[in-house]
């Protein structure tokens, strides 16, 4: 089922940088929120060892209870439905300080309805990271309560049995998540993590691929990744200059056929140029948190 945005997606830019922080490290929560990330994901799943999960959940409960009612909401990545921690994790997300739940191993659209039973207005970021999840991505995207899709590249490669693979090998599956999001009227999806924390060259290449394939955000595992991701997903100065030339030329043409930089400007090209300028204007008017 397709949907429309409740707000103009150009006026309100969805988050571009999502930063993970382990739920077992409450001492890092405030730093994560002050890092400049657009959204913080407190992780009860992969970042927490099995024997620490109950204590990590308790620590997160206590931290949420001590926050001001108007504090910035966080996202909580819970454990998957087949695990013994899932029900308690989901119950924790009923707290109003949780803005959304990240649902790992999203595969069955009907399972996602449990989020509404925890709290009727709880939004879901569905993490598609298995072959079954890719197969059902369009149904998952159309499930009521799902606010955005995320692409779990590492787990998907493992599930598909890829060995020594290049990230480009996952391009068809990334494309399916982008297409599913568009058909459902969701914001452009969130791409997976770059595990190399200190390799800015690799990170820039990953972000360029994300944007090229239609993703609008990226998962980050360290604050130092945020500036590279933010810059890579925003319109570049070259993009802005091109868009200004196209819009100016079209405005002066009075309906006549025109070319900019040796390329014919038709309606899709003009719409793309206007979208770039609108995105930059909205980002300037509503900047990401410092």
pLDDT, tens digit, for every residue of 189-205? 999 999 999 999 999 99
pLDDT, tens digit, for every residue of 222-260? 999 999 999 898 877 787 787 788 888 877 776 677 888
Same-domain pairing of 124 and 176:
yes
pLDDT, tens digit, for every residue of 117-170? 899 999 999 999 999 999 999 999 999 999 999 999 999 999 999 987 778 899
pTM: 0.85
Same-domain pairing of 148 and 27:
yes
Same-domain pairing of 215 and 269:
no
pLDDT, tens digit, for every residue of 80-122? 999 999 999 999 999 999 999 999 999 999 999 999 989 999 9
Same-domain pairing of 140 and 281:
no
Same-domain pairing of 204 and 272:
no
3, part of any domain: no
Same-domain pairing of 222 and 279:
no
Same-domain pairing of 162 and 247:
no
Same-domain pairing of 165 and 23:
yes
Residues spanned by the domain of 276: 237-285
Same-domain pairing of 111 and 224:
yes
274, part of any domain: yes
194, part of any domain: yes
pLDDT, tens digit, for every residue of 169-178? 999 999 999 9
Domain containing 135 — which CATH number?
3.20.20.60
**Phi, psi torsion values for 41, nearest 5 degrees:** -110, 115
Task: Give the number of domains in the chain.
Answer: 2
Domain boundary, last residue among 195, 210, 233 = 233
Same-domain pairing of 177 and 209:
yes
11, part of any domain: no
113, part of any domain: yes
87, part of any domain: yes
2, part of any domain: no
228, part of any domain: yes
């Amino acid at each position: 089922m397709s949907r429309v945005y409740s707000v103009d997606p150009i006026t309100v830019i969805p988050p571009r940088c999502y930063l993970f922080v382990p739920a077992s490290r409450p001492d890092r929560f405030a730093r994560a929120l002050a890092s400049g990330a657009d959204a913080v994901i407190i992780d009860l799943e992969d970042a927490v060892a099995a024997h620490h999960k109950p204590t990590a959940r308790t620590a997160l409960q206590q931290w949420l209870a001590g926050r001001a009612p108007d504090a910035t909401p966080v996202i909580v990545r819970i454990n998957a439905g087949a695990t013994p921690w899932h029900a308690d994790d989901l119950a924790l997300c009923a707290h109003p300080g949780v803005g959304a739940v990240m649902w790992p191993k999203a595969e069955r659209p009907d399972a996602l309805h449990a989020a509404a039973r925890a709290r009727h207005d709880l939004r879901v970021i569905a993490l598609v990271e298995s072959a079954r999840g890719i197969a059902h991505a369009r149904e998952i995207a159309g499930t009521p309560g799902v606010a955005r899709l995320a692409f779990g590249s590492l787990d998907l490669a493992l599930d598909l049995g890829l060995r020594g693979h290049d990230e480009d090998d996952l391009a068809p599956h990334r494309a399916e998540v982008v297409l599913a999001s568009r058909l459902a009227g969701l914001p452009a999806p969130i791409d997976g993590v770059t595990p190399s924390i200190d390799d800015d060259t690799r990170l820039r290449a990953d972000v360029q691929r994300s944007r090229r394939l239609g993703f609008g955000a990226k998962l980050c595992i360290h604050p130092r990744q945020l500036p590279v991701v933010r810059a890579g997903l925003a319109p570049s100065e070259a993009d802005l200059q091109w868009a200004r030339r196209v819009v100016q030329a079209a405005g002066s043409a009075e309906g006549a056929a025109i070319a900019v930089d040796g390329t014919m400007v038709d309606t899709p090209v003009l719409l793309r140029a206007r979208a770039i300028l609108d995105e930059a204007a909205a980002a300037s008017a509503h900047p990401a948190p410092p």
